[in-house]
Chains A and B, each alone.
Chain A
Amino acid sequence: MYKIDDHVAVAVAGITADANILINYARLAAQRYRYAYQEPIPIEQLLHRICDLKQSYTQFGGLRPFGVSFLVVGWDEYFGFQLFRSEPSGNYGGWKAAAIGNNSPNADSVLKSDYKIGDTDMKKAKSLAVKVLAKMLDTASPSPDKLEFSSITLKDGKPEYKVYTKKDIEGLLKDAGVEKKESSGDI
């Protein structure tokens, strides 16, 4: 998971080396916008720029596409909190809940059934995210070191990107009811 600017962050699935290029590009794009307009880049504008780059590698140059999918989260003053998913083709869509990477189709179907549009606050969202992630990892109770968790919230009216500590994650797992229980001792 990477911060792109104060108000936008991404989660990556795919070839890490390819992702690093795109993340750097995204960071530069965000700063260039900020420099030109003296305001933070709207989330979809940023995503659009990244996806245009991804697309160009599918049409020009004889180069292979970036093997990367992104989940882009952020807040801007025009559209509030947003979540987008993009893929190697450069296609992107806005979502209420989404997953990428291993077992993501399964996760998508769980999200489709369990995410209640209009009735999911931050607490429920975090809980659901943790549960779904556990399912994707194929474990009943993942250990906190195996998870990365971050969020973007508004603090005093300004967006803030927070990376959760191991302790925070333990708390999350507990609240979601998927905490690692002491092994009873298998034979």
Chain B
Amino acid sequence: PHSALLTSSAASFQMSILQYNGSAIVAMVGKDCVAIASDMRYGIQQQTIACDMKKVFQMGDKLFIGLSGLLTDVQTLKQKFDFKLKMYSLRENRPMRPKVFSSLVSSTLYEKRFGPYFVEPVVAGLDAKEGPFIAAMDLIGAPVFAKDFVVSGTTSDELYGVCEAFWKPNMGPDELFETISQSLLAAVDRDCLAGWGAIVHVITKDGVTTKQLKSRKD
């Protein structure tokens, strides 16, 4: 008998809207420096579409935001923050400080408390006076200000593990780069929805260095 096998779609059981695209974001504090990194996969559920999708954006000279979650909201929010940042710097005639920016992100998200953006952002920056700054938020803007590292995305559980193991205080820019890169690479290999390339930004008072990592493309 012909087994009436309905062609099953490649889609797996969808658990949550925050897992529709998949991402891994991590930020770490070093000695007078911060690093922020993310994977580059653009996928729709199980299918991978591209491996050059930016999820970390430079918002200012020494200010970055990484956005995990639903990619359309990631891109829309980036554009909204560009708007708000530009208005701020034109009115106040100075760049926005990282702590202030993360407050802006938080309030922007809470405004949509009952119909939220499906993103979980990570802010990383170097404040001119107060030094390294990192923060992460949930989709309705609840912030956590950490002294060591913050993580976000479908790979967050794995990232918590590796970061806890590898992070130590007062790392210089090179050591910080190594640590954050190895943490990210190790974590995404345990997550089928993230990976396919990675990008790392290290911010020091001299500037920003950006490197792309060679990773497993599966």
Contacts and interface: CB of A to CB of B under 8 A. Distances in A.
A3 B90 CA distance: 7
Interface residues of A, number: 11
A35 B90 contact: no
Contacts of B82: 34-35
A165 to B, nearest CB: 15
List the 9 closest pairs (A to B, CB-CB), nearest first. Answer: A31-B83, A35-B83, A27-B90, A35-B79, A31-B86, A31-B87, A27-B87, A3-B90, A34-B83
A154 interface: no
A28 B79 contact: no
Contacts of B80: 35
A68 interface: no
Interface of B: 79-80, 82-83, 86-87, 90-91
Nearest to B79: A35
Nearest to B90: A27
A32 B87 CA distance: 10
B86 A38 contact: no
Nearest to A5: B86
A74 to B, nearest CB: 14
Nearest to A35: B83
A37 to B, nearest CB: 11
Contacts of A27: 86-87, 90-91
A73 interface: no
A5 B86 CA distance: 8
A72 interface: no
A168 B86 CA distance: 27
Contact of A4 (B79, B83, B90): B90
A35 B81 CA distance: 10
Nearest to B89: A3
22 contacts: A3-B90, A4-B90, A5-B86, A5-B90, A24-B91, A27-B86, A27-B87, A27-B90, A27-B91, A28-B87, A31-B83, A31-B86, A31-B87, A32-B83, A34-B82, A34-B83, A34-B86, A35-B79, A35-B80, A35-B82, A35-B83, A38-B79
A73 to B, nearest CB: 16
Given A4-B90, A5-B90, A31-B87, 8 more contacts: A3-B90, A5-B86, A24-B91, A27-B87, A27-B91, A28-B87, A34-B86, A35-B80
